[in-house]
Amino acid sequence: MTTDRTIATTGPEPFVTTAPAPGEPHRRLGERGSLHEHANGAPIVLGTLWHLTDLHVTDPSSPIRAPFLNHLGEPNGPLRTRIGRVGTYRPHEAASAHVLAAMVRQLGSITRAPVFGGAVDLVVASGDLADNAQANEVAAASALLSGREGTLRAPGLADPFEGPGGLDDDPHYWHPEGEPFDEWRTRRGFPQIEGWWSALAAPIPLATHDLPVLFVAGNHDLLLQGTVPASPRLARAAMGGLAPTGVAADLDLAHALADHERTAPDPWRLVVGAPHRCVAPLAERAPLAAITNDYPLPRRIDVGALRLLVLDTTNPWGGWQGSLDAASVRWLVDELDSAHERRLDDEGRWVPAGGSDVAVVLVTHHPIETLVNTTVPEEERPRVGGSSLAALLDHYPNVIAWLAGHTHRHRVRWVRSRLGPYGMLHVTTASLIDWPQQGRIIEVAFDPRAQRLVVATTVVDHAGAVGIPVSTPASITEIAGIARMLAANDPERLGEREPPGRGTPNDRNAIWTLPIPPGLARQLARRGDGWTAFAPATPSMPPAAP
């Protein structure tokens, strides 16, 4: 738990290492993020969730990836001013399955939540399980999270390694096992690690646990590189034996990215073709459906005293940002009405909704501020963006929280309704692919004395080793520890005082005390005898916020 120990970067740039650091105790917050002292009380635990997101299990050898575009969007690259950061290559991405394996070990080792002591009810994996919408990536992520016994080979890690940094001599990729002396080693101080590729190609022992897992689709699960729909031509290329290694010198790069269907990369390299790399055309929305049985969305799940409403926010027509289709919004309205005895009208007055009061948690891949991609073909029905959705949710104050990913950063903020003194806690959690590679435990409880909701969030590191010397790794924990250290040396983040993935202290370990409607409070109090009330662990209950 990061309440006991955190992980910091140490040493001079350009290459920093990791080291143990003091723990970060919970901060006590109200809806405005202000600090509060504690009061005594015994909360009723409504539900406990383990939130993982943006796993990005990657097949680095895939012929349908474009890692050669990455350096074009770096600070001095030719596309930086036109499209910003590209992000199609990370030196540690080949260890993404090992990082997930190290996090799953934590799922099995933490049996009680740290603040209220409840057992974890559900693992929520809120999208981007895969990096490139490939069946083998999704299958690996699903198997690693399943909790069953066995072993797994990470996707795309044959020996010898066929991906970037393996047999090639391109100086834009990290070559951990010797020559060439690429820019990652000469300019950025990255280490040489003999046996790195062989260690990654070895079978990964699966960590066991008995927790149910909810899989949610993200843009990287459904779109190539999280952006491009898988046309039949691109789907065939995914299973082929030719992988692009660059683009022609005279190519208009920005135009080529916009018109990828008619732009042929040049040159190529040979790889072993693999049917299990299949990606599906738009209409089938596989491979997620075939592997997890949790797709298509939307769907409703009752967990403890919480009702989770799970929505697909990926725009199937392309683009990395999200939106909702009209059918999902209609479904959401029906579900929200059924979870409210009364709702608020446009003037903030209570009106009948026809349902029974239930505490609702929304689960999506995209947070509300990224629901801006409403582009559709002319013949399609318009999609719904975040501003329209926010206006709708203002009428439904039993929506207490929204869990999402996508941004690869910890962020927790209370957003007040424009129609009354209620609101919801918006929670995003850092990814497992970028620093700091963390998950989060979310505990939701009701304080019957104060008639307030209490939400505790606690950040959890994966089980990767910390502060180890950089040498040939001999275990999953050593591989994951090295991968975390490599992630800390992302050239986009070096020199920043506080890398954005970590967020602020309020975004990590905190206990929020929040107002809820009186109808929901009465319902929770009436049904409280059916749940378990835990005396809170240290720290104790916070008071009601002003």
Mean pLDDT of 2-12: 93
Query: 347, 359, 428: which is closest to 394 by C-alpha?
Result: 347
Q: What is the mean pLDDT of the chain?
A: 84
For residue 53, being part of any structural domain is answered with: yes
HEC string of 236-265?
HHHCCCEEECCCCCCCCHHHHHHCHHHCCC
Query: 520, 529, 480, 513: which is closest to 41 by C-alpha?
Result: 513
CA-only gyration radius of the chain, Å: 23
DSSP3 helix / strand / coil % (the chain, rounded to 5): 25, 20, 55
- What pLDDT was estimated at residue 532? 44
| Residue-number span of the structural domain to which 360 is assigned | 5-530
For residue 476, being part of any structural domain is answered with: yes
- Taking only the tens place, the pLDDT of each residue in 328-361 is 999 999 999 999 999 999 999 999 999 999 999 9
d(CA 370, CA 411): 14
- Taking only the tens place, the pLDDT of each residue in 456-465 is 999 999 999 9
Whole-prediction pTM: 0.90
Please determine, for residue 324, whether its predicted confidence score (pLDDT) is greater than 60.
yes
CB atoms within 10 A of CB 452: 24
Torsion, Cα 90 91 92 96, to 10 degrees, reads: 50
Query: 315, 297, 461: which is closest to 380 by C-alpha?
Result: 315
- What pLDDT was estimated at residue 498? 59
Partners of residue 268 on adjacent β-strands: 244
Please determine, for residue 430, whether its predicted confidence score (pLDDT) is greater than 70.
yes
For residue 235, being part of any structural domain is answered with: yes
* Number of separate domains in the chain: 1
Q: Which residues does 293 contact at the CB level (< 8 Å), separation at least 6?
A: none
Query: 381, 502, 516: which is closest to 444 by C-alpha?
Result: 516
- What pLDDT was estimated at residue 478? 96
Binning pLDDT at 50, 70 and 90, where does residue 40 land?
very low
> Which range, of 220-234, 432-446, 478-492, 508-522, averages the lowest pLDDT?
220-234
- What pLDDT was estimated at residue 286? 47
Q: Which amino acid is at 227?
A: T
Count how many Cα atoms sit within 13 Å of the Cα of residue 142 in the half-sphere of its side chain. Answer: 19
Q: In the structure encoding, which two tokens stand for residue 361, read together?
A: 């948690």
**CA angle in degrees (0–180, nearest 5) for 169-85-437:** 85
The conformation of residue 163, written as its DSSP 8-state character, comes to S
d(CA 416, CA 395): 11
d(CA 478, CA 465): 5
Contact 442, 455 (CB under 8 A): yes
Percent of the chain with pLDDT over 90: 58
For residue 525, being part of any structural domain is answered with: yes
The conformation of residue 398, written as its DSSP 8-state character, comes to T
Residue count of the chain, please give it: 546
CB atoms within 10 A of CB 262: 7
CATH number of the domain residue 279 falls in:
3.60.21.10
Binning pLDDT at 50, 70 and 90, where does residue 54 land?
very high
Please determine, for residue 288, whether its predicted confidence score (pLDDT) is greater than 80.
no
> E-assigned strands of 114-174?
122-125, 151-152
For residue 449, being part of any structural domain is answered with: yes
Distances (CA, A) of 384 to 166, 313, 363: 44, 10, 16
Binning pLDDT at 50, 70 and 90, where does residue 179 land?
confident
Residue 530 sits at φ, ψ, to 5 deg, of: -85, -5
For residue 406, being part of any structural domain is answered with: yes
Burial, 4: exposed, middle or buried (Cβ in 10 Å; 0-12, 13-18, 19+)? exposed
> Which range, of 84-88, 174-178, 222-226, averages the lowest pLDDT?
84-88
* Bridging pattern class, strands 242-244 and 151-152: unpaired
For residue 253, being part of any structural domain is answered with: yes
For residue 295, being part of any structural domain is answered with: yes
Binning pLDDT at 50, 70 and 90, where does residue 381 land?
very high
Which residue shows structure tokens 């069953």? 148
Q: In the structure encoding, which two tokens stand for residue 506, read together?
A: 């309020």
- Taking only the tens place, the pLDDT of each residue in 117-146 is 999 999 999 999 999 988 889 889 999 998
Residue 48 sits at φ, ψ, to 5 deg, of: -130, 125
